[in-house]
């Protein structure tokens, strides 16, 4: 009798062991937690697969976007062709340019509504740092000072490697202003909060007045009307402005140019500091754009449209 009872216990134990083994075999393996990190330059160059939308484990700002169904993007829409306002369109659709198309694609991949919020360039980084907007997309360049306050994505738009920044003057001053030393005693300007502002402070040490202006258009206007004698500008943007405004009377000073260090290359998206998961998602969209060359296609189309509008 005892022997029979023991045999029953052994059989039950064996059956339980088999069921446990089957359960373990059918259980899903644990997914290791993704480690979101910045690189040594303090911007995010890692990315995630965005084909399935926002991941279920979304946290922080990305989690809030998922919960509310809205992505808020800050921009200064006066920097054609990257971002500008098309007067023939209305509402949110009037914000055009490759940066705005990228914002729409990011929202599409997230499966949420996009709300573009226009503001002065000096406010776009503050808006994300303070949580008033989720992302800033406004032809932003990386600098260590900016990276201390906000999180940056990898670069998504790069120039051809030639100098990035130059100096505009009035054509009538072509002989009087040919080098940095000729700016001694003159009034110079740059867009406030821009990389050109930093380069002006670094390379132009002798002048009468250095004025920071709120928009790139106000920079062009100030030099054109004689309020300022010269201004530091993005070369490609200035070339496009002069090309499409042949009567503006402005020119770039030949040879008076500044190149950026490698770490500053490329336009980037900014988000609140510490929101690395959000930047991994943004980088996933950037990877898609770089692989397809879609951003450059949008750029060419927007360049043509800006030319039609005389921008």
Q: What is the pLDDT of residue 136?
A: 98
From the candidate CATH numbers 1.10.10.10, 3.40.50.1980, 3.40.190.10, 1.10.2020.10, the one assigned to the domain spanning 60-158+266-308: 3.40.190.10
Predicted confidence band at 311 (pLDDT cuts at 50, 70, 90)?
Answer: confident
Question: b/e for 174-195, b at 16 or more Cβ within 10 A?
Answer: eeebeebebbeebbbbbbbbbb
Task: Flag whether pLDDT at 237 surpasses 90.
Answer: no
State mean pLDDT over 276-299.
97
pLDDT averaged over the chain?
A: 87
Q: What would the pLDDT profile of 6-44 be if each residue is shown by its tens digit?
A: 444 444 445 545 445 444 444 444 545 678 998 877 889
What per-residue confidence (pLDDT) applies to 145?
Answer: 81
How much is the average pLDDT of 209-221?
Answer: 91
Over 50: is that where the pLDDT of 261 sits? yes
The mean per-residue pLDDT over the stretch 97-117 comes to 98
CATH 3.30.420.10 fits 165-261, yes or no: no
Closest residue by Cα to residue 166 from 98, 114, 241: 241
Q: What is the pLDDT of residues 164-211, one digit of tens each?
A: 789 999 999 999 999 999 999 999 999 887 878 877 877 788 899 999
pLDDT confidence band for 240 (50 / 70 / 90): confident
Q: What is the pLDDT of residue 282?
A: 98
Tally of residues, the chain? 311
Asked whether 168 and 251 are in contact (CB, 8 A), the reply is: yes
- Fold: same for 60-158+266-308 and 165-261: yes
The per-residue pLDDT for 10 is 45
pTM score? 0.73
pLDDT at residue 201, as a whole number = 78
Residue 78, both tokens: 């006066």
The percent of residues in the chain predicted with pLDDT above 90, rounded, is 66
Q: Determine contact, residues 76/124, Cβ cutoff 8 Å.
A: yes
Choose the weakest-confidence range: 153-162, 237-246, 291-300.
153-162
pLDDT average, residue stretch 131-151? 92
Domain borders along the chain are 60-158+266-308, 165-261
Over residues 53-65, the pLDDT tens digits come to 999 999 999 999 9
* Residue 163 banded pLDDT, cuts 50, 70, 90: low
């Amino acid at each position: 009798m005892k022997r029979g009872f023991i045999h029953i216990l052994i059989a039950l134990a064996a059956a339980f062991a088999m069921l446990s083994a089957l359960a373990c075999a059918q259980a899903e393996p644990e997914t290791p937690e993704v480690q979101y990190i910045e690189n040594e330059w303090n911007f995010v160059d890692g990315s995630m697969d965005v084909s399935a939308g926002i991941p279920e484990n979304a946290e922080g700002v990305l989690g809030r976007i998922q919960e509310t169904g809205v992505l808020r993007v800050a921009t200064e829409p006066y920097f054609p062709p990257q971002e500008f306002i098309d007067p023939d369109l209305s509402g949110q659709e009037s914000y055009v340019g490759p940066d705005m198309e990228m914002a729409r694609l990011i929202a599409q991949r997230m499966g949420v509504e996009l709300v573009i919020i226009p503001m002065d360039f000096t406010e776009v980084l503050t808006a994300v740092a303070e949580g008033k907007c989720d992302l800033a997309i406004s032809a932003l360049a990386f600098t260590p000072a900016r990276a201390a306050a906000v999180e940056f994505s990898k670069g998504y738009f790069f120039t051809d490697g030639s100098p990035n920044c130059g100096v505009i003057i009035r054509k009538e001053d072509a002989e009087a202003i040919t080098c940095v030393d000729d700016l001694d005693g003159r009034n110079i300007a740059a867009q406030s909060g821009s990389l050109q502002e930093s380069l002006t402070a670094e390379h132009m040490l002798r002048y009468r007045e250095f004025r920071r202006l709120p928009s790139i258009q106000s920079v062009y206007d100030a030099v054109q009307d004689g309020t300022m004698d010269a201004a530091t500008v993005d070369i490609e943007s200035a070339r496009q402005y002069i090309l499409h405004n042949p009567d503006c009377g402005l020119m770039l000073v030949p040879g008076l140019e500044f190149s950026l260090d490698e770490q500053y290359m490329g336009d980037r998206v900014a988000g609140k500091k510490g929101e690395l998961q959000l930047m991994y998602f943004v980088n996933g969209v950037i990877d898609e754009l770089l692989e397809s060359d879609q951003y450059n296609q949008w750029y060419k189309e927007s360049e043509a449209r800006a030319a039609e509008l005389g921008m």
